[in-house]
Amino acid sequence: MEDIKAYIETGILELYVLGDISQAEKLQVEEMAEKYPEIKAELAEIERSLEAYALENAIEPPVHLRERVLNSLVTSFANDDSFPTKETTEIFYDDRIIKDNVVALSTPKANNFYKYAFAASMLALIASVFGLFSLNNQLKESNEVIASLQTKNTSFANQVNYIENEVDVLRDPEVKVLKLQGLPKAPGAQLTVAWSPKKKKVMINMEDMKLAANDKDHQYQLWAIVDKKPVDLGVFDAAKTDTAGMKQMKSVANAVMFAVTLEKRGGVSSPTMDQMVVATKI
Amino acid sequence: MTKKRKISLTEEELVAALRNREKIAIEALYDMYSSSLLGVISRIVIDEATAEDVLQETFIKIWNSFQSYSSEKGRLFTWMVNIARNLSIDKIRSKDFKNQNKNQELENNVTFIDEQVNTVYKPELMGIKDLVEKLKPEQKVILDLVYFKGYTHVEAAEELGVPLGTIKTRLRMAILQLRKYFN
């Protein structure tokens, strides 16, 4: 007990608190404080009084300094509150490690972002290429459909035109519809001729024509008898052509008879009488 | 922001918060100790702006090396005041600071020298009247040299031309006076 009191009175505890002793003495004081509660209590008293003395001599820092100091701490150790572990404490101990740590944390984040962004844009690119292809195909199909519809439309329009012509001819009260009947050479043959003497217009109906098919060296030739002489009204084929409902022949004003002969292709200047297939008088 | 209420925690709460690296600990630390620490720093580093820099460095060091503080070995303030004192002494011994002082203007020198030899007391640095009367001048000089100015007791003995044993005794008596006064 005497020893402890003497130890306290050397004033070493005061120097300890003031940080004014060697490392060896420091360890000794700490050892003593652990062993003897009196020494520990004495140290606490000295500390408390010096702290109070410092408070008496305190100088209030300017208001702006608070912000500056807090910012410098918060900035240096930003985000640390999301890692309140002992490891983090150690990491933050060394400035150099702090910097390394910040870099290590932020780098993979940035990497991931660009990775995902790249993957997303590749995906978008592939999707749009597919989209473009499928759209292109659809466009092609649509164009084909439109083309075929246009063709059909044209052919319909043509057909309508022919039918209209036909109807016009048949409705015209001036027009005479003549049935040319088969002669002994071709008993079943038949041809309808529409003739408008006023308009000098002659047409043959290809639809209900009943004539033997001609070969490629021969054609049928239509004749009109005018003033007892045969007049050439043009040649035609027995085979139906897709454009034909009514076929317009050469003009004639006053005929007394119509007849058809089978002649060599292109027609002849005067009919071969024994090749006459159909005829009718008016 | 400037009117914000100051944060105050018990020392145990503050130490725990500092260990957990909580943000509130930084504010509480500053609010509770900045003025006391600046009082010590300002005794060593006279220039106000430099003293404020040292205060900032002190808080950074406290925060950075907090795990080296052990509450079993002493009070938090004792540990912090040693950091503040050491950083202050480092500052006035640094080349920058010495150069800066060489460039001081002439008319500032008188007050500067006065402050350096402690012949002029700033009113804000004086303890309350009662306390000053309790502390004998020779006790106060030694206490201030060692506690505030960072002298070792050996340096103080040389400075004052007093035997080492006397310095130690006076230091102890000064602190005993403080204990009586504050308890």
- Give the pLDDT score at A166: 74
- Give the pLDDT score at B101: 57
Report residue A239: phi and psi, to 5°.
Answer: -65, 140
Question: Any idea which architecture B127-183 has in CATH?
Answer: Orthogonal Bundle (1.10)
Does residue A83 surpass a pLDDT of 50? no
pLDDT tens by residue, A201-219: 888 888 788 888 888 888 9
Q: Please tell me which residue, A197 or A85, carries the higher pLDDT value.
A: A197
Q: Is the dihedral of CA B156, B87, A16, B76 positive or negative?
A: positive
pLDDT tens by residue, B57-105: 999 999 888 988 988 888 999 999 999 999 998 888 886 666 665 555 4
Quote the strand ranges of A117-166, DSSP E: none
- Give the pLDDT score at A4: 86
DSSP state of A60: P
- Give the pLDDT score at A85: 43
Complex ipTM over 0.85: no
DSSP state of A210: B
Contact A226, A195 (CB under 8 A): no
Q: Which helix (H) or strand (E) holds A218?
A: strand A218-226
Does residue B22 surpass a pLDDT of 80? yes
Question: Distance between CA B56 and CA A142 in Å, rounded?
Answer: 77
Which residue is listed with tokens 């090396």? B65
Cβ within 8 Å of A, B 123-152: 124-128, 131, 143, 146-148, 152
Does residue A226 surpass a pLDDT of 80? yes
Report residue A210: phi and psi, to 5°.
Answer: -125, 90
Who's near B131: CB < 8 A, 6+ residues apart? A53, A56, B178, B181
Instruction: Tell me what the mean pLDDT of segment A252-256 comes to.
Output: 85
Q: How confident is the model at residue A169 (pLDDT cuts 50, 70, 90)?
A: confident
CB spacing of B21 vs A83 below 8 angstroms:
yes
Instruction: Tell me what the mean pLDDT of segment B168-179 comes to.
Output: 88
| Residue B81 exposed, middle or buried by CB count within 10 Å (0-12, 13-18, 19+) | buried
Does residue B117 surpass a pLDDT of 60? no
Instruction: Tell me what the mean pLDDT of segment A30-49 comes to.
Output: 90
Name the most confidently modeled range: A16-20, A97-101, A138-142, A236-240: A138-142
- Give the pLDDT score at A106: 41
Instruction: Tell me what the mean pLDDT of segment B116-135 comes to.
Output: 55
Cβ within 8 Å of A, B 108-127: 124-127
- Give the pLDDT score at B46: 85
CB spacing of B21 vs A19 below 8 angstroms:
no
Instruction: Tell me what the mean pLDDT of segment B116-140 comes to.
Output: 60
pTM for the model: 0.49
CB spacing of A88 vs B21 below 8 angstroms:
yes
Q: How confident is the model at residue A95 (pLDDT cuts 50, 70, 90)?
A: very low
- Give the pLDDT score at B133: 66
What average pLDDT does chain B have? 80
What average pLDDT does chain A have? 81
- The stretches of B45-105 forming alpha helices (DSSP H) are 48-64, 76-93, 95-102
CATH topology of domain B1-104: Rna Polymerase Sigma Factor; Chain: A (1.10.1740)
Does residue A133 surpass a pLDDT of 90? yes
**Which residues of chain A does B66 touch, with a Cβ-Cβ cutoff of 8 Å?**
89
Q: Which helix (H) or strand (E) holds B11?
A: helix B11-19
- Give the pLDDT score at A270: 87
Does residue B8 surpass a pLDDT of 70? yes
